[in-house]
């Protein structure tokens, strides 16, 4: 029998036979409900509008339900109109109001259609779970509408009267909005973000705000997330890098307006040293925005100033942390500052930008006094910014290096491999780390770096390694060639060799090996990755290893869409199938509302022979363990080992 002390504690919650019996009946019934839908997204890179659209549409799940429910009743344009109403109810109602299309008949038809969809998408949940999600102001009426059965003729007039009264008293629009929001909530039970919320796009903070409000999400950290975690903790090389990338994409307002970071010290330094000469490689990339010449000039000066600071800070870190084995990317001491050349691998290359007013050739990695002051001020601003710290706390508390969930293994980048397909080994302080053990080591390092954020420790330097180190599972390349891309035109110096994992994952046996390493069954398990944009337009497939591995980075970030040819992949996984979704570029909410066109097409990856139930999931395992404990408690009551309380 279960430990008697545990059963005594359990008896406080279930004090007698009727109480424990009711819970056993309830839990066993739940095990037979269909598995609810999971939604996988990755590499959002600050593209809040596209991300929000994916959430609202549930990546085609809602449209699929409309097609199934109204297959013979509505034509394509009517289905699109209904879908748009559910995605953007307020905006669509306003548009229809302007066009004078809102009539009592329209309200009646729309309410009845939306109620049908809401019934269907909520049918996989218990009444208790549905009840908790209902808006308080309409909870009773919505619950009545959801549980009225179509075939119950006795209540048809009751149902019709509810709808008529809703319209009569002017509450139809409020009900449509509430029901539409419920459909969005019920369509997806679990949201997985497989890394890289930050950088390139302008609004990572808005994505984080959406995630904080989401009913059930988890995050697997990407290299850009670790970059910002490290920056917020005051790791100076990462701090400089985060600012450099933000300026590179012309997103100065993210720092100044959205996070309230004081950038004037950097602007003053940049104006002092770089006002006269900034190479065009430091001009900001303009993705979906237009900057005037003055803005471009200021940003380019700041961009170069912080880039030089970054390279100095990184050089000092590489020399201090010899165990990182990154000497090959020490560049500043390889420059002939008089000739304007750099020698790499015994070969001399001409620099495209030869202006380095803050570098002392005799001590190239030393920050001058003004640079020291700037990085001190920026570090203080980042570490003491409440909004940024709140976002990073959420990212930390809801994140992990990898996740095993319902037979799937989720991680952002790679599990480092050697050329022969074996797990790469790294000896740290006399202990060998490889495979799962290496990812666990880094997960522990991240948690320690955050736990000891008010203390001076070496843990934060490991975050920098995770950003760009050769055996970082989040980076997965032999080196980062940022300096060469800025200061040379020889593309052979830009090459960043990918870890052998990225070729090996085409092999089903390698995928099986990785699944086993993480204690998952290769027969029904899948690996789900982000990090490397799939070049769809060049014929690359996101499906690897004979269907065992899915790469769902298809270029949600606008900066990648020229390479990929699409605007991202997402993945949905319900009781019947796994479906890979291909997205077209999201232009604007206004256009989506006006034209009513979806941005998705899809491809089924797996169709299950038998529909999956909650009993087949991780939650089902937990519920079964609880049932087993309750059965032990029931036995204890029946045998008189524990006394019932009434």
The per-residue pLDDT for range 525-583, each reduced to its tens digit, is: 999 999 988 888 888 899 999 999 999 988 888 778 877 877 888 999 999 999 998 88
pLDDT of 359-390, one tens digit each? 999 999 999 999 999 999 999 999 999 999 99
Looking at per-residue pLDDT, the higher value among 160 and 13 belongs to 13
pLDDT of 60-102, one tens digit each? 899 999 999 999 899 998 999 999 999 999 999 999 988 888 8
Is pLDDT at 277 greater than 80 in this prediction?
no
- Note the pLDDT of residue 154: 72
Is pLDDT at 278 greater than 80 in this prediction?
no
Contact 86, 596 (CB under 8 A): no
Does the predicted TM-score (pTM) go above 0.75?
yes
User: Averaged over 252-262, what is the pLDDT?
Assistant: 94
Region of 108 please: left (phi>0), alpha (psi -120 to 50) or beta: alpha
| Strand duo 38-41 + 569-573: pairing | antiparallel
**What is the band of 438 on the pLDDT scale with cuts at 50, 70, 90?**
very high
**Distance between CA 60 and CA 187 in Å, rounded?**
10
Strand order in the sheet with 341-344: 335-336, 341-344, 347-350
Give phi and psi for 32, each to the nearest 5.
Answer: -95, 0
- Note the pLDDT of residue 127: 87
Is pLDDT at 588 greater than 80 in this prediction?
no
**Distance between CA 189 and CA 118 in Å, rounded?**
14
Strand partners, 549: 527, 544
pLDDT of 317-344, one tens digit each? 999 998 998 877 799 999 999 999 999 9
**What is the band of 248 on the pLDDT scale with cuts at 50, 70, 90?**
very high
The two tokens of residue 586 are: 């999201």
Which contiguous run of DSSP H or E holds residue 192? strand 190-193
Give phi and psi for 404, each to the nearest 5.
Answer: -100, 120
Question: Helix 369-383 to helix 223-232 angle, to the nearest 10 degrees?
Answer: 100
Looking at per-residue pLDDT, the higher value among 295 and 356 belongs to 356
**Distance between CA 219 and CA 442 in Å, rounded?**
16
User: Averaged over 616-624, what is the pLDDT?
Assistant: 95
Is pLDDT at 276 greater than 80 in this prediction?
no
**Distance between CA 111 and CA 102 in Å, rounded?**
12
Greatest C-alpha distance within the chain = 93
CB atoms within 10 A of CB 397: 9
The two tokens of residue 54 are: 């994916």
**Distance between CA 232 and CA 504 in Å, rounded?**
35
CB neighbours of 490 closer than 8 A, spacing ≥ 6?
Answer: 349, 484
The two tokens of residue 572 are: 């949905």
Contact 92, 84 (CB under 8 A): yes
| Strand duo 431-433 + 426-428: pairing | antiparallel
Residue 39 C-alpha from the chain's centroid: 11
Helix (H, G, I), strand (E, B) or coil at 320: helix
Is pLDDT at 18 greater than 60 in this prediction?
yes
Looking at per-residue pLDDT, the higher value among 296 and 237 belongs to 237
**3-class SS string, 344-376:** ECCEEEECCCCCCCCCECCECCCCCHHHHHHHH
**Distance between CA 264 and CA 266 in Å, rounded?**
5
Please give the mean pLDDT across all residues of the chain: 91
Strand order in the sheet with 38-41: 399-400, 217-220, 190-193, 38-41, 569-573, 577-583, 600-607
Contact 165, 104 (CB under 8 A): no
Residue 165 vs residues 103, 112, 141, 152, 342: alpha-carbon distances, Å: 14, 13, 11, 20, 79
Contact 562, 444 (CB under 8 A): no
Closest to 567 measured CA to CA, from 534, 543, 529: 534
DSSP one-letter string for 433-500: E-HHHHHHHHHHHHHHHHHTTTS--SHHHHHHHHHH-TT-TTT-BS---HHHHHH---GGGG--PBPT
pLDDT of 103-112, one tens digit each? 999 999 999 9
Residue 148 vs residues 154, 158, 176, 601: alpha-carbon distances, Å: 10, 9, 18, 34
């Amino acid at each position: 029998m279960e430990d008697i002390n545990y059963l005594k504690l359990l008896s406080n919650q279930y004090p007698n036979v009727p109480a424990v019996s009711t819970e056993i009946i309830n839990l066993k019934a739940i095990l037979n409900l269909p598995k609810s839908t999971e939604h996988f997204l990755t590499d959002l890179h600050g593209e809040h509008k596209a991300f929000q659209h994916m959430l609202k549409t549930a990546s085609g799940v809602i449209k699929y339900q409309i097609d199934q429910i109204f297959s013979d009743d509505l034509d394509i344009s009517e289905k699109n109109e209904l879908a748009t109403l559910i995605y953007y109810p307020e905006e669509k109602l306003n548009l229809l109001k302007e066009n004078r299309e809102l009539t009592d008949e329209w309200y009646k038809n729309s309410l009845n259609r939306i109620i049908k969809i809401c019934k269907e998408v909520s049918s996989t949940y218990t009444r208790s779970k549905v009840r908790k999600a209902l808006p308080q102001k309409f909870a009773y009426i919505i619950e009545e509408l959801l549980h009225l059965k179509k075939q119950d003729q006795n209540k048809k007039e009751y149902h019709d009267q509810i709808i008529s009264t809703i319209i009569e008293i002017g509450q139809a629009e409020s009900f449509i909005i509430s029901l539409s929001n419920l459909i969005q909530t019920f369509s997806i039970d679990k949201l997985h973000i497989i890394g890289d919320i930050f950088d390139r796009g302008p609004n990572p903070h808005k994505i984080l705000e959406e995630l904080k409000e989401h009913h059930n999400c988890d995050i697997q950290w990407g290299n850009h997330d670790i970059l910002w975690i490290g920056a917020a903790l005051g790791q100076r090389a990462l701090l400089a890098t985060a600012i450099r990338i933000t300026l590179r994409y012309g997103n100065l307002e993210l720092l100044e307006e959205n996070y309230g970071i004081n950038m004037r010290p950097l602007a003053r330094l940049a104006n002092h040293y770089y006002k006269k000469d900034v190479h065009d490689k430091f001009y900001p990339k303009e993705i979906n925005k237009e900057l005037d010449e003055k803005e471009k000039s200021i940003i380019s000066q700041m961009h170069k100033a912080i880039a030089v600071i970054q390279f100095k800070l990184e050089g000092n870190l590489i020399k201090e942390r010899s165990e990182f084995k990154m000497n090959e990317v020490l560049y500043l001491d390889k420059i002939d500052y008089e000739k304007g050349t750099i020698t790499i691998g015994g070969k001399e290359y001409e620099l495209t930008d030869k202006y380095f007013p803050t570098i002392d050739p005799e001590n190239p990695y030393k920050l001058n006094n003004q640079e020291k002051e700037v990085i001190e001020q920026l570090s203080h601003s980042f570490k003491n910014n409440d909004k940024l710290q709140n976002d990073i706390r959420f990212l930390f508390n809801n994140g992990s290096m990898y996740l095993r969930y319902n037979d799937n293994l989720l991680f952002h980048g790679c599990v480092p491999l050697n050329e022969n397909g074996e797990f790469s080994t790294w000896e740290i302080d006399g202990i060998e780390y490889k495979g799962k053990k290496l990812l666990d080591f880094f997960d522990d390092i991240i948690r320690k770096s955050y736990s000891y954020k008010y203390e001076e420790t070496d843990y934060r330097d490991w975050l920098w390694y995770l950003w760009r180190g050769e055996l970082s599972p989040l980076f997965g390349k032999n080196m980062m060639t940022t300096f060469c891309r800025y200061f040379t035109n020889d593309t052979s110096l830009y090459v960043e060799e990918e870890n052998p994992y990225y070729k090996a994952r085409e092999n089903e046996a390698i995928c099986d090996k990785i699944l086993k390493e993480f204690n998952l069954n290769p027969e029904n398990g899948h690996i789900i990755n982000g990090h490397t944009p799939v070049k769809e337009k060049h014929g690359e497939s996101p499906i690897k290893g004979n269907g065992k591995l899915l790469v769902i980075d298809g270029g949600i970030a606008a900066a990648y869409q020229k390479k990929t040819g699409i605007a991202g992949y997402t993945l949905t996984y319900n009781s019947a199938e796994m479906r890979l979704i291909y997205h077209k570029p999201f232009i604007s909410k206004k256009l989506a509302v006006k034209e009513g066109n979806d941005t998705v097409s899809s491809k089924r990856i797996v169709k299950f022979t038998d529909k999956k139930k909650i009993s087949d999931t991780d939650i089902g395992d937990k519920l079964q363990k609880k049932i087993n404990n309750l059965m032990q408690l029931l036995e204890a009551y029946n045998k008189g080992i524990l006394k019932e309380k009434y």
